Amino acid sequence: MGKQLLLENINVPGIETLSVYRANGGYKALEKALKMQQSEVVDEVKKSGLRGRGGAGFPTGMKWGFIAKPEGVPRHLVCNADESEPGTFKDRYLMQHNPHLLIEGMILSSYALGANTSYIYIRGELLYVYHILEKAIQAAYDAGFLGDNILGSGFNLNLYCHLGAGAYICGEETALIESLEGKRGNPRIKPPFPAVSGVWGRPTVVNNVETIAATVPIINMGGEEYAKIGVGKSTGTKLISACGHINNPGVYEIELGLSCEEFLFDDKYCGGIKNGKKFKAVVAGGSSVPILPADLFLKTAKGEPRLMSYESLSDGGFISGTMLGSGGFIVLDETASIVKNLWNFTRFYHHESCGQCSPCREGTGWMEKILNRILEGKGKQTDIDLLFDIQSKIDGKTICPLGEAAAWPVASAIRHFRKEFEEYVNKPEEIVDVKHYYAVNNLQQSAK
């Protein structure tokens, strides 16, 4: 195992309580940060090279640097704990077991940004985690880490949890802001960016749970030390939530730059494919990223070993690469049907489209219908090209990236596994063994 900065104490009994968290070095980073200038805290994060862990990988220090500071207007930090990207379950794990790590990160990050009221937007389904956070926040108030004049620094902060109610799109930062304002989760057109006009029109930074948590070790060890971990512009550690057909599903903290082969096959991590089956494909960074066939995951198109880093995973662009994304790592073995898997994700995006942009609203529905038809053995050869055509007309033509998130999996599945689609179309009697269960009349097609 590499360095464990976020999960180091995750199995310490009672770590969710303030006393045990403190006994294990907790709130030291906050004490240190409060003795620094706000801009110095931002500088440490800049030096660390930390990139957003929510999926887009945008440099966190730079994002913080963009926050507008108009006179007399409050600023806000909002933690994105909406975690809904299929395959991703790292934030839940972290919050559930070590809530104070997030809370400490929220306090020091709010200090750096000059925010006096901050929110943790947590998806509604995670009510039990909400309770854990509420309890931990109360403990932090009682100990003087929240509220007025924190640790005598003169800095005031109120931190609140806000419960969502079931909508993947609310993970998109501007939809999240709308939702926090008590509205439908319709993404906003950017610009203006949240850093200028976010929640209630005020400058706002939205950061993922893991990003905020990572600021704690960064302040403890210093940005430069943090930047020494990892490879190139992929600094530090990353939580990967591994699932699907593997022996050891779970959340792993890896040093960025670990070899993909080691991550998938070593017993310390995924432990290889379940039931002695063959490795077929992987969706390496949450359902939105392009799927990769086994060989292209282990080695780049140039034949170099692929690494778990932002750059290496995207080597080859969308032709032969993918993305690190949120770290949702879904492994498919030889028995998995790529077409069926794609249909499931496409159905998901159709269901979750907010409906503002026609290419996304209609396109995802059309793609779902066509995939349904193919799975039922009623597809035509031209359907495959039609699918590819539709996705290309969603990509880049929508308000928010959900459109792309729906398009890329389709493009990559056809690019790498076209044969499989053709088999469904040409030999349905051989392939379509079980009647495509998800027939429209069976499972509720939730009303839009």
Partner 1 sequence: MSKEIRFTDETMALVQKMIKRYPEGKHKSALIPMLHLAQMEFDGWLDSPVMDYVASILKIQSIEVYEVASFYSMFNLKPVGKCLIEVCRTGPCWLLGAEDLVKHIEKNLKIKDGETTPDGMFTLKTVECLAACGTAPVIQVGETYHENMTCESVDLLLGEYKIKDARKTHYDIKHISIK
Ligand X SMILES: Cc1cc2nc3c(=O)[nH]c(=O)nc-3n(C[C@H](O)[C@H](O)[C@H](O)COP(=O)(O)O)c2cc1C
Residues of this chain that bind partner 1 (CB under 8 A): 74, 83-89, 91-92, 117, 123-128, 130-131, 134-135, 137-138, 141, 147, 158, 160, 162-168, 179-185, 200, 241-245, 249-251, 283, 287, 328, 330, 332, 336, 341, 344-345, 348, 351-352, 354, 437-438, 442-444, 446
Under the binding rule (CB under 6 A), the answer on residue 234 touching ligand X is: no
Q: How far is the CB of 96 from partner 1 (least distance, A)?
A: 10
**Which residues touch 183 (CB under 8 Å, ≥6 apart)?**
none
Name the residue nearer to ligand SF4 (CB basis): 90 or 347: 347
**149-188: contacts with ligand SF4 (CB under 6 A):** 169, 187
Least distance in Å: CB of 392 to partner 1? Answer: 23
User: Cβ 358 to ligand SF4, closest distance in Å?
Assistant: 8
Query: Cis bond leading into 290, ω under 30°?
Result: no
Interface segment toward ligand SF4; rule CB under 6 A; list 155-163, 216-224, 354-362, 378-386: 354-362
- Give min distance, CB of 56 to ligand X, in A: 4
Partner that binds at residue 171, options partner 1, ligand SF4, ligand X, none, CB closer than 5 to 8 Å by kind: ligand X
> Binding segment for ligand SF4 among 57-65, 67-75, 350-358, 419-427 (CB under 6 A)?
350-358
Instruction: Tell me if 357 contacts ligand SF4 by CB under 6 A.
Output: yes
Interface of this chain with ligand X, residues 181 to 220, rule: CB under 6 A: 206-208, 211
Q: Which two tokens stand for residue 104?
A: 């400490």
Q: Which of these ranges, 2-10, 141-149, 261-269, 347-355, lies near ligand SF4 under the rule CB under 6 A? A: 347-355
Which tokens in the block code for residue 107?
């306090």
Is 53 an interacting residue with respect to ligand X (CB under 6 A)?
yes
Q: How far is the CB of 10 from ligand X (least distance, A)?
A: 19
Q: What is d(CA 112, CA 330) in angstroms, rounded to the nearest whole number?
A: 36
204-208 sheet: strands from edge to edge? 158-163, 117-122, 76-81, 204-208
How many other CB atoms are found less than 10 A from the CB of residue 310?
22
Residue 166 — left, alpha, or beta (φ > 0 → left; ψ -120 to 50 → alpha)?
left
- Residue 230 pairs in a beta bridge with 235
**Residue 209: count of CB within 10 angstroms of its CB:** 28
Does 118 help bind ligand X (rule: CB under 6 A)? Answer: no
Of 92-111, which residues contact ligand X (CB under 6 A)? none
Contact yes or no for 315/306 (Cβ under 8 A): yes
Contacts with ligand SF4: how many residues (CB under 6 A)?
14
The set of residues, in sequence order, having a beta carbon less than 8 Å from that of 443 and lying 6+ positions away, is: none
Beta bridge partners of 329: 242
- Give the C-alpha distances (Å, rounded to integers) separating 19 from 14, 16, 130, 145, 157: 8, 9, 20, 13, 21
Our CB check for ligand X shows the closer of 192 and 377 to be: 192
Binding-residue pattern over the window 273 to 302 for ligand SF4, x denoting contact by CB under 6 A: ------------------------------
> Cis omega before residue 293 (within 30°)?
no
CA 296 to CA 274: how far, in whole Å? 20
When CB distances are held under 5 to 8 angstroms depending on the partner's kind, the choice from ligand X, partner 1, ligand SF4, none that residue 130 binds is partner 1
Burial status of residue 32 (CB atoms within 10 A of its CB: 0-12, 13-18, 19 or more): middle
- Shortest distance (Å) from residue 95 CB to partner 1: 10
Q: Can you tell me the distance from the alpha carbon of 288 to that of 364, in angstroms, rounded to the nearest whole number?
A: 13
Residue of this chain nearest to ligand SF4 (CB atom): 360
> What binding mask, one character per residue, do residues 375-404 give for ligand X by CB under 6 A, x or -?
-------------------------xxx--
72 binds, among partner 1, ligand X, ligand SF4, none (CB under 5 to 8 A by kind): none
Give the nearer residue to partner 1 in terms of CB position, either 71 or 303: 71
The beta-strand segments (E) located in 126-273 are 158-163, 204-208, 230-231, 234-235, 237-244, 250-255, 258-259
46/413 Cα distance (integer angstroms): 37
Give the separation between CA 402 and CA 169, rounded to whole angstroms: 7
What are the residues binding ligand X (CB under 6 A)?
52-56, 58, 60, 80, 82-85, 169, 171-173, 206-208, 211, 400-402, 405
What are the residues binding ligand SF4 (CB under 6 A)?
169, 187, 353-357, 360-361, 398-400, 402-403
